[in-house]
């Protein structure tokens, strides 16, 4: 396993970075930072799932950059259009609606949804990347899918108050 294996993961890294940042330039910078860190820390890598290791590096860099710049990736309701409606005119409109709905998900749900559904990672690998328990991954995935379904159908889910359990 060598640098060729890292190069083979670049398309997946770019896709995930683009989904995280929502901006092509920031995504390319994030991929470059990830690759630089991975090559610099190559001696620390233990044989296993290279993709999960690279995604872990990317996720940690993204979180650290967001904290240091005090950026909020979610632009808020004012910057987003009204809830999308089912577009039947063309695939481009459906894709646009999907991207906007995906952007409306909380970051935690969006990350899990992208890693499991788009990148086809296991729950265990996703849990390692995000440094959360597997049960948290499953919970966030379930809530994310439910909310995404509601957003795409035009039915914003009602906020459900949390029950206090004693």
Predicted model pTM: 0.53
pLDDT at 124: 92
- Domain assignment of residue 33, given as a range: 1-73
Collapsing DSSP to helix, strand or coil, 145 comes out as helix
Residues in the chain with pLDDT < 50?
A: 71-73, 86-87, 158
| pLDDT of res. 114 | 87
Domain assignment present for 41? yes
Domain total for the chain? 2
Cα gap 44→53, rounded to integer Å: 11
| 87/145 same-domain check | yes
Of 110, 137, 109, residue with least CA distance to 123: 137
162 belongs to a structural domain: no
Domain containing residue 105: CATH number: 1.10.10.10
Through-space distance between the first and last CA atoms of the chain, rounded to whole angstroms: 52
Residue 140 has what pLDDT? 92
In a domain, 165, yes or no: no
pLDDT of residue 151: 87
Question: What pLDDT was estimated at residue 156?
Answer: 67
């Amino acid at each position: 396993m060598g640098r060729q294996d890292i190069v083979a993961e670049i398309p997946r890294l770019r896709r995930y970075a683009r989904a995280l940042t929502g901006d092509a330039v920031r995504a390319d910078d994030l991929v470059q930072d990830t690759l630089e860190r991975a090559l610099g820390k190559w001696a620390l890598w233990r044989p296993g799932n290279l993709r999960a290791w690279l995604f872990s590096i990317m996720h940690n860099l993204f979180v650290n950059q967001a904290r240091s710049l005090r950026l909020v990736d979610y632009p808020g309701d004012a910057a987003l259009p009204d809830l999308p409606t089912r577009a039947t005119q063309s695939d481009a409109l459906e894709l646009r609606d999907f991207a906007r709905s995906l952007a409306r998900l909380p970051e935690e749900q969006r990350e899990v949804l992208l890693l499991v559904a788009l990148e086809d990672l296991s729950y265990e690998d996703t849990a390692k990347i995000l440094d959360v328990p597997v049960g948290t991954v499953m919970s966030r995935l379930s809530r994310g899918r439910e909310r995404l379904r509601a957003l795409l159908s035009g039915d914003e889910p009602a906020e459900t108050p949390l029950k206090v359990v004693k």
